[in-house]
Amino acid sequence: MTAPGTPTTADELRGAGLRVTAARVALLETVRDGGHLDAEAIASGVRERVGHISLPAVYEALHALAAAGLVRRIEPPGSPTLYEGRVGDNHHHLVCRSCGAVADVDCAVGHAPCLTASDDLGFVVDEAEVVYWGLCPACSTTGSS
């Protein structure tokens, strides 16, 4: 149950200028509940909540939600596109080279955009994306045994 005064998912969709549908509500809630999910996993979660939804409809809704700033799209090189509900900050990601696990990591120093380019070439920088690659604890333990 939503606390009094706390916007509902439907309120957030309306506030972003998006049409409220059961599928969009289920999709946004699935992303927020799931961490870093690909479109297939999101479609599966939406189907558990509201029944049938096509994969193209999921992609269309994800595009609209990302454009509205309600979800964040991340694309680690060599990995599938992932979506997450953590928005509004400029956090970074840790990606395991072995199993593909993805974890959030806050900026090491400073405020968004966390990094200052050595030369911004006239760009107005509002976001920096950093991906740290390595082995997660489970994979590094497995590899050393």
Does the annotation place 107 within a ligand binding site? Answer: no
Residue 110: inside a domain: yes
CATH number at residue 100: 3.30.1490.190
Is residue 139 a known part of a binding site?
yes
On the question of a cis peptide bond just before residue 77, with omega within 30 degrees of 0, the verdict is: no
Query: For position 104, what pLDDT does the model report?
Result: 92
16 with 69, same domain: the answer is yes
Name the residue among 19, 27, 20, 22 with its Cα closest to residue 43: 27
Task: Show pLDDT as tens, one digit a residue, over the chain (145 residues).
Answer: 556 778 899 999 999 999 999 999 999 999 999 989 999 999 999 999 999 999 999 999 999 999 999 999 999 888 889 999 999 887 889 999 999 899 998 877 655 556 677 788 898 887 778 888 999 999 998 765 5
